[in-house]
Structure 1
Amino acid sequence: MAKIHPSAIISPEAFIDPDESVEIGPYTIIEGNATIHKGCKIGPYVHIQGYTEIGEGCRIFSGAIIGSIPQDLKYKGGKTYLKIGKRNTIREFVTINTGTSEGESTTIGDDNLFMAYVHIAHNCFIGNNVIIANGGTLAGHVVVDDFAIIGGLVGIHQFCKIGKHSIIGGCSKITKDIIPYVVADGHPAVPCGVNKTGLKRREFSSEKIMHIEEIYKICFRSGLNVSEAIAELEKMEETEERNDIMGFIKESSRGIAK
């Protein structure tokens, strides 16, 4: 049987996996139609609301508010969702909102770490193995791809996209899309090199890192505009890294930081 502290308040509409690996701490409130899967450990004073699903093995620390309605004046009270994957760590006082319009979701993948006071707004999409440091703030519809790292107190504008394996320096302001594999920093943030340290940690070969550096030079150090840079990338040997960066640039709706 799940270990639920007697002071916790659980809605009769909520589903709590009965497995003994589930723990719910004192004074936690689980409202609405929330679903908590096995292995979840939810600390004291957590508030889980609405149509929120929390995958297996997640840890949620005290004071977090998960699945609250969006901070968006367009929200009209519809049925909106928050879907959280497996093995995520959500630290103290994190806030995560549901989607805005009827049927929409905020979606979070697996194995992410959100440090204290992180805010993830409506309709965001977070991939896998993402780290967001203390006080990071994501506005609505932000996309963060796999293995990205966002430093403390970073603010990200609505609809921006953060590419995979990128890292954003602390206190940066993001107003445009950050391509994969780079270090970005500043007000507003711009790429300032390839994330070589992060790529080495993830066992990218020296050859792959050098290849990414060649792509980076074409995009940011050649004096070419975006269309010209894409034309040069298309002449290169087709690789996963080239396709990642070229596809990211072509699909960017806000334009890339440059």
Structure 2
Amino acid sequence: MIHPTAIVDPEARLDPTVTVGPYAVIGRDVELGPHCIVGPHVVLWGRLRAGAHNRFHAGCVIGDAPQDLKYKDAPTGLVIGDHNVFREHVTVHRSNRPEEDTRIGSHNFLMAHCHVAHNCVLGDHVIVANGALLGGHVIVEDRAFISGNCLVHQFVRVGTLALMQGGSAISLDLPPFTVAWGDNALCGLNVVGLRRAGISAGERLELRRLYRLLFRQGLPLREAVQQARQRFSSPAAQILLQFVENSRRGLCRHLSRQRPGGAEAEAEAEPPEDSAGSRG
């Protein structure tokens, strides 16, 4: 299952079902679980532990040293779950200190040429599209969708089921269920993502009302949260409120867009149930 041109350190721990393609390089501290597939010219390096059914496409560099001037060759780590896909030339760096790993959960899809920096933590079912860049210490929660060529500043949190439109950039926390547009701006709720995740129509309606109270009423955020705690009780609303209360960097805020003729774009308005539209 190992191509004769691949270079695999004798101390690397590979399950017998692992497949290694031509010219791949696997270092001594790498551990791969069952049924992983390592494509041609892939480099797996450093203290890397990956679970089962992960696929590394051509040219990936996974587990190399962090791009951090403070890093001094410490034995740091990268931990990967199961059923992840790393497409062509994806780079994921291990952490910058031994007591904390870079972590990738399970069932994630990292598209070609995206980058996940040191000490990042990705949950499950996350999609990172082509060319997106995640700075160090970024946290991306379950089912978030980061579109192509997006930029996420170091130490930022991206909430569950949040979506970043292509080319957007954030240096502030992106709340759960919301859509990032442009620079540090919100343009509504990820309605399609909410439906696909099985969030009920009643919870979606409550989230729309909560979004308006938090981000469009013009109230001080602390006051808006206090009012929301008295009015909204669904599980999804509680997730959004807890994220807002725990934010340390501050939050992306709603930015109204003007359509031709002056009408404000209502990006959070829910399309009809039979809508065929999709925002990913």
TM-score, normalised by the number of residues in structure 1: 0.96
Residues 78-157 of structure 1: pairs in structure 2 closer than 5 A: 78-157=74-153
User: 1:102 deviation in Å?
Assistant: 2.4
The CA distance in 1 between the partners of 2:88 and 2:39, in whole Å, is 9
| Alpha carbons 1:79, 1:103 under 8 Å: kept | no
User: 1:6 deviation in Å?
Assistant: 0.7
Specify the SS of the correspondent of 1:214. Answer: helix
Determine if the alignment matches structure 1 residue 217 to structure 2 residue 193.
no
Report the counterpart of residue 15 of structure 2 in structure 1: 17
User: What is the CA deviation profile of residues 179-227 of structure 1, one whole-angstrom value per residue up to 9, with x for unaligned ones?
Assistant: 00111110x1311111111111222211111011011011111111211
Picking from 31, 35, 39, the partner of 2:31 is 35
| Alpha carbons 2:203, 2:234 under 8 Å: kept | no
Picking from 186, 189, 192, the partner of 2:187 is 192
User: 1:76 deviation in Å?
Assistant: 1.3
Show structure 1 runs of 5+ residues with no match. Answer: none
Opposite residue 7 of structure 2, the aligned amino acid is I
User: 1:241 deviation in Å?
Assistant: 1.3
User: 1:237 deviation in Å?
Assistant: 3.7
The CA distance in 2 between the partners of 1:57 and 1:93, in whole Å, is 19
User: 1:238 deviation in Å?
Assistant: 2.4
Picking from 30, 49, 54, the partner of 1:58 is 54
Determine if the alignment matches structure 1 residue 244 to structure 2 residue 239.
yes
Residues 160-199 of structure 1: pairs in structure 2 closer than 5 A: 160-186=156-182, 188-199=183-194
| Alpha carbons 1:33, 1:50 under 8 Å: kept | yes
Opposite residue 162 of structure 1, the aligned amino acid is V
The CA distance in 1 between the partners of 2:228 and 2:72, in whole Å, is 45
The CA distance in 1 between the partners of 2:223 and 2:28, in whole Å, is 52
Opposite residue 6 of structure 2, the aligned amino acid is A
Report the counterpart of residue 4 of structure 2 in structure 1: 6
User: What is the CA deviation profile of residues 34-63 of structure 1, one whole-angstrom value per residue up to 9, with x for unaligned ones?
Assistant: 001101011000000010011100111000
Picking from 202, 211, 233, the partner of 2:197 is 202
- Give the 4+ runs in structure 1 shifted more than 3 A: none
Determine if the alignment matches structure 1 residue 226 to structure 2 residue 215.
no
TM-score, normalised by the number of residues in structure 2: 0.89
User: 1:103 deviation in Å?
Assistant: 2.6
Computed over aligned residues only, the root mean square deviation of the Cα atoms, in angstroms, reads 0.9
Q: 1:83 to 1:145 in 2, by over 3 A?
A: same
Opposite residue 138 of structure 2, the aligned amino acid is V
